[in-house]
A = this chain, B = another copy of it.
Amino acid sequence: MKMFIYTFLFFSLLATIAFTTEASVVDFCVADPSLPNGPAGFSCKNPSQVVAEDFFYSLAGKGDTSNIFRWNASFAFASTFAGVNGLGISIARSDIEVGGVIPFHSHPDASEIILVTKGTITVGFVASTFGNRVYSQTLRKGNIFVFPQGLLHFTYNIGKIPAVAFSSFSSDNPTGQITDYALFQNDLLTEIVSNGTFISPREVKRLKRLFGGTN
């Protein structure tokens, strides 16, 4: 048996060598934001420096909801949760106060499954076809709903207590475009926004003031 162990360790040593160089490419590719990134994601951290904590993240804390939406989102994306880089999945936590809302927005590069862990919310998305049909449901604890990639969707806390929901995304580094931010939080000319949405110039100006836009 000794002989076995000997030759065996020798063999497994070889095996380790054979696999080491490809490790970072194959088993996982923990993000190293200090290196260049590309269309597929961040460069990989040196695998010998990877630790268990790279695969851990906490969304235990409630975020600050003292804003106009009475909503806060905390993200566990590759940019902050290095372990998911290249794995095509990520997650976020939303806290929505009573009467709060996650405004109309879309995720240009990911589908989303929302899971309610506290409270009661109404969610929905708008299809780009069939007369822009709306698919909406009310969700309670343990219920889920899926928003197909890129489509406008919304969430309302219609309950009597603050709601908590966790959203999983089919991308390890998704983004989100909030319609109000896109139209009213930047320096787009009021005329351009109005002509491109048919919202009256006066209303556009009011919303720009509300969301911090200019022009």
* A interface residues with partner B (beta carbon < 8 Å): 1, 4-5, 7-12, 14-16, 18-29, 32-33, 35-44, 47-48, 50-61, 64, 66-69, 72-73, 75-81, 83-91, 93, 101, 103-104, 106-109, 111-113, 115, 117, 124-137, 139-152, 154, 156, 166, 168-171, 173-183, 185-188, 192, 195-200, 203, 206-207, 209-212
**Given A19-B129, A37-B24, A186-B131: A212 and B12 interface contact (C-beta under 8 Å):** yes
Q: Which of A26, A112, A117, A171 has the most CB of B within 10 A?
A: A26
Give bound CA distance, A10 to B154, whole Å: 22
User: Nearest CB to that of A206 among chain B residues?
Assistant: B200
CB distance from A152 to the nearest CB of B (A): 5
Contact A68–B175 (Cβ < 8 Å) = no
How many identical chains are in the complex? Answer: 6
| Contact partners of A76 in chain B: CB under 8 A | 113, 144
Contact A87–B149 (Cβ < 8 Å) = yes
Give bound CA distance, A135 to B48, whole Å: 12
Contact A85–B156 (Cβ < 8 Å) = no
